[in-house]
Structure 1
Amino acid sequence: MALVVSNNTKLRKLIAYISASFHNDTYNLTETQKQLLENYLNRLTERIGGDNFPETIHTDVDCGAGLEDVAEIYAKNYHPYFATAVCLFGIVANLCNIAVLTRKDMISTPINRILTALAVADALVMVEYIPYTYYYYVVLAKKMDFPYSGAVYILFHTHFTQVLHTTSVCLNLTLAIWRYLALGYPERIHTLCSDSRCTLSIVLSYFLPVVLCIPTYVTLTIATREITENQTLFILYHTDLHDMFKTDNTLLKINFWIYAVLLKLLPCGILTVIISWLIRAFFKAKKRRLKLQSYNDIDNKNKTTKTKRRADRTTKMLVAVLLLFLLTEFPQGIFAFLIGIKGKDLFLECYQLYGEIMDILALINGAINFILYCSMSRRFRTMFGQLFKIRVLGLLTPPPPPSDIHTTCV
């Protein structure tokens, strides 16, 4: 998920352009009107936590020309509604995942336990993101009062989503390694993929991100700004880069290098290698199975084929889950890596600009797993149908009369 800094660079640019345009002779403004307008824009700039604007803006940071416009339009007009819809769907979908994967016949499999832990992490992110969307895009945009409690909440949201998203990274990595061990070392599967090791892996996937995200904790802080209106002093609170990262560009670069390499690019690199190996192992096993079929009798062939087909479907489903995860993680990792090279200008000008795009990609990735499970796992579909068919029929069907109960109980 994207880091949130409330210094709205886009709005400051817009104010600057408005100021510059009204200084032209096209609008035939008097000097008094120009001064009143400039005073108003200055107060507005102070409210969003920036310095008085220049008449022209010079920046060497290229944020992607046409893509920049698309990102601004999406963030301004569509993101709050789209994100809320995705979160609502994702919460329901992940609750369905948890309900199915925790059934007695399903929870005994380590892979399903890891997928359950992943569904919990994704659901928690979406549950928290809905009130954040309402506060940031509705309440704050309307009142523009920047209270201390609001700044604390924005800071909490940033760290909470970052920790849980890192948990998802760890769980996806665990999922890939688990499948690699199961296919690569089938004779040692009961030792390498034991229940105790599965439990330990899940616990570590939730605990380690709290430690791994320490660089994020020290990067952001709550800043204050004092403004005076009508002889009344107002204190505005907002999240911002810590002073030491503002003054020391090298320190910020190092921080983002750690974030990009340790939390993004390294896991993505490991996942890429394991996914490549899984795909290769899948096709090798398929060829080997075709060769062995002619040597087996019909009964053994049918049993082996059924087991192998189930394993193949599981492998294909997990590869699809991991590939979708890579599609959302690699762009963020590359972005953070470039910030480690360029410094805070790229962070303030571009990273914040594409924050909503990165958020929605992460939310979609967390919500779409249910669709993958249903479309690629026959066992999941069967369990889902049985679970909710029983619940629905239990609500719609009246209880049988006593005589029927006695005759059906043998």
Structure 2
Amino acid sequence: MDASSGNSAFNNSVAPLEGFDKDMLSSTLSQTQALLEHFNISDIEKILNMSSRTVSVMTQCYCSGTLREILLSYKSVHGYFSLVVCVFGTLANVLNVAVLTRKEMASAPINRLLTALAIADMLVMLEYVPYACYAYLVLPGEINMPYNWAVFVLFHCHFTQVLHTISIGLTLVLAVWRYIAIRFPQRSHILCSDRRCNVAIGIGYILPLIVCIPSYFTFKIQATVVFENDEMIVLHHVGLSRMAKEDDELLYYVNFWIYGIIIKLLPCVVLTVISCWLIKALYKANRRKQALKGYTNCNSASLLPSEKRAVSKSDRRTDRTTKMLVAVLLLFLITEFPQGILSLLSVILGRCFFRTCYYLFGEIMDILALLNGAINFILYCSMSRQFRTTFALLFKPRMLAKWSTPASQTDVQTTYV
């Protein structure tokens, strides 16, 4: 169901369960409890949605053998691991917002973009906490699939898709923003003005709501009735809507193409090109500095000390900002490219790949996406001098403030991310 969830494959509770083998259900419902202890709901769907013979064939289509065992083993610890990442990531992004919204930081448009990105990542992690608690810690020990849970899952898949698409869009804006600043340094203050920054953030939050429209009509809450010992049990779940099943599931595949191509692969391709260009620009700048080092040393006597410091500080500032954003972009590509490729393969190779391979990578894609949103704080601290300085001034105890050097406060005003 990754095609409909934004933060990778939140699919283990949204697989369609219609089309059960009724005879098998009535005779094996007592075994479902044991199945839930070893598989998530998407695995149950693969088992119950077809005859056992068909399942044995399909599970050999893709991702069988050792890889399958490794992925299934990770599912048993994903709930705990994801909760740790979400708690850390939420706190880290709160700190990001607190630092980036300080007056001396918020004056730079690129910092406002980073703030908007931190808010989107924080909301994704906050929402994932109750999902992980129930889906991985509570639900595996129950046979009941209540209606309230199905409602939450439906909200979860749309909410995370929209928020994660916002993160992708803002990351793309960041890359373009930095490209303009390096490529057109004399006009960057015009092309990357405060007003255009606000417009970019507004579009980054609104456009995903429109792009994700197909997924709103692709899935709906369904109920499957099973019997055990003459007792009726209703299993509520999220499955394909009637509209998604029409015309040979046209809407279902359109949703997959939009998710795999427009939301995932296209931004990744653009970010790859821009990242390569920025790395090349950094390499050229470093090589140019080395070539001019001797010339600068020979002519340094003609420059005033303040002029030397200004030139040196400006160069270092530009390089630090570019390096930090390149690190953010590369981290994004590592987490997003695999998701886009898996989504594309699900459309090209069909349901067999989707059910037997794509599902297995659900938790892996989840944790990669969550880590991507949680690690930015570490990148900012390690690569941005102004971020560290502002963070220290914001959270350092007042009694220690008198030991701060005057230069550190000056850097806050003169050093950009």
Partner of 1:277: 277
Partner of 2:124: 125
- 1:164, CA displacement in angstroms? 0.7
Partner of 2:111: 112
Correspondent of 2:309 among 288, 302, 309:
302
Aligned residue identity for 1:99: A
In the alignment, the residues of structure 2 paired with residue 374 and residue 244 of structure 1 have an alpha-carbon distance, to the nearest angstrom, of: 48
Residues 128 and 157 in structure 1, CA contact (< 8 A), matched pair in contact too:
yes
In the alignment, the residues of structure 2 paired with residue 171 and residue 43 of structure 1 have an alpha-carbon distance, to the nearest angstrom, of: 43
- 1:64, CA displacement in angstroms? 5.1
In the alignment, the residues of structure 2 paired with residue 94 and residue 136 of structure 1 have an alpha-carbon distance, to the nearest angstrom, of: 24
Aligned residue identity for 1:280: K
Distance 1:191 1:44, change over 3 A: same
- 1:340, CA displacement in angstroms? 1.6
Alignment of 1:373 with 2:380, yes or no, is yes
C-alpha offsets along residues 220-272 of structure 1, whole Å, 9 cap, x if unaligned? 22121012234333322101233454572565334322211100110000001
Residues 14 and 153 in structure 2, CA contact (< 8 A), matched pair in contact too:
no
What is the TM-score when the length of structure 1 is the normalising length?
0.83
Partner of 1:262: 262
In the alignment, the residues of structure 2 paired with residue 199 and residue 39 of structure 1 have an alpha-carbon distance, to the nearest angstrom, of: 55
Correspondent of 1:323 among 315, 326, 330:
330
Residues 15 and 237 in structure 2, CA contact (< 8 A), matched pair in contact too:
no
- 1:193, CA displacement in angstroms? 0.5
Alignment of 1:184 with 2:183, yes or no, is yes
- 1:187, CA displacement in angstroms? 1.1
Identity, in percent, stands at 50
C-alpha offsets along residues 56-90 of structure 1, whole Å, 9 cap, x if unaligned? 721252125322211100012x1011000001111
- 1:386, CA displacement in angstroms? 1.3
Which runs of 5 or more residues in structure 1 are unaligned? 10-18, 20-35, 395-410
In the alignment, the residues of structure 1 paired with residue 191 and residue 173 of structure 2 have an alpha-carbon distance, to the nearest angstrom, of: 13
Distance 1:89 1:284, change over 3 A: same
Partner of 1:400: none
Partner of 2:52: 54
In the alignment, the residues of structure 2 paired with residue 67 and residue 324 of structure 1 have an alpha-carbon distance, to the nearest angstrom, of: 24
Distance 1:69 1:44, change over 3 A: closer
Residues 222 and 237 in structure 2, CA contact (< 8 A), matched pair in contact too:
yes
The 5 A counterparts of 1:206-217 are 206-217=205-216
Which runs of 5 or more residues in structure 2 are unaligned? 1-7, 17-23, 402-417
Residues 94 and 370 in structure 1, CA contact (< 8 A), matched pair in contact too:
yes
Residues 79 and 132 in structure 2, CA contact (< 8 A), matched pair in contact too:
yes
Distance 1:224 1:113, change over 3 A: same
In the alignment, the residues of structure 2 paired with residue 37 and residue 222 of structure 1 have an alpha-carbon distance, to the nearest angstrom, of: 26
User: Which deviates the most, 300-309 or 117-126?
Assistant: 300-309
The DSSP-based 3-state class of the residue aligned with 1:6 is coil
The DSSP-based 3-state class of the residue aligned with 1:135 is helix
Residues 215 and 259 in structure 1, CA contact (< 8 A), matched pair in contact too:
no
Partner of 1:40: 30
Partner of 2:405: none
C-alpha offsets along residues 339-361 of structure 1, whole Å, 9 cap, x if unaligned? 12012222222222111000000
Distance 1:7 1:348, change over 3 A: farther
Aligned residue identity for 2:30: Y
The DSSP-based 3-state class of the residue aligned with 2:360 is coil
Distance 1:250 1:211, change over 3 A: closer
Alignment of 1:382 with 2:389, yes or no, is yes
Distance 1:246 1:74, change over 3 A: farther
Partner of 2:153: 154
Count residues in correspondence.
Answer: 369
Distance 1:71 1:214, change over 3 A: same
Partner of 1:32: none
Alignment of 1:224 with 2:249, yes or no, is no
What is the TM-score when the length of structure 2 is the normalising length?
0.81
Aligned residue identity for 1:113: R
Residues 101 and 115 in structure 2, CA contact (< 8 A), matched pair in contact too:
yes
Partner of 1:13: none
In the alignment, the residues of structure 2 paired with residue 117 and residue 144 of structure 1 have an alpha-carbon distance, to the nearest angstrom, of: 40
Distance 1:259 1:37, change over 3 A: closer
Partner of 1:348: 355
Partner of 1:96: 95
The DSSP-based 3-state class of the residue aligned with 1:173 is helix
- 1:37, CA displacement in angstroms? 7.4
Residues 151 and 238 in structure 1, CA contact (< 8 A), matched pair in contact too:
yes
Distance 1:43 1:331, change over 3 A: closer
Residues 224 and 236 in structure 1, CA contact (< 8 A), matched pair in contact too:
yes
Partner of 1:12: none
**Superposition RMSD in Å:** 2.7
In the alignment, the residues of structure 2 paired with residue 75 and residue 364 of structure 1 have an alpha-carbon distance, to the nearest angstrom, of: 16
Residues 252 and 343 in structure 1, CA contact (< 8 A), matched pair in contact too:
no
Distance 1:220 1:204, change over 3 A: same
In the alignment, the residues of structure 1 paired with residue 114 and residue 147 of structure 2 have an alpha-carbon distance, to the nearest angstrom, of: 38
Distance 1:115 1:39, change over 3 A: closer
Aligned residue identity for 1:264: K
User: Which deviates the most, 47-56 or 349-358?
Assistant: 47-56
Aligned residue identity for 2:374: A
In the alignment, the residues of structure 2 paired with residue 86 and residue 203 of structure 1 have an alpha-carbon distance, to the nearest angstrom, of: 28
Alignment of 1:333 with 2:340, yes or no, is yes
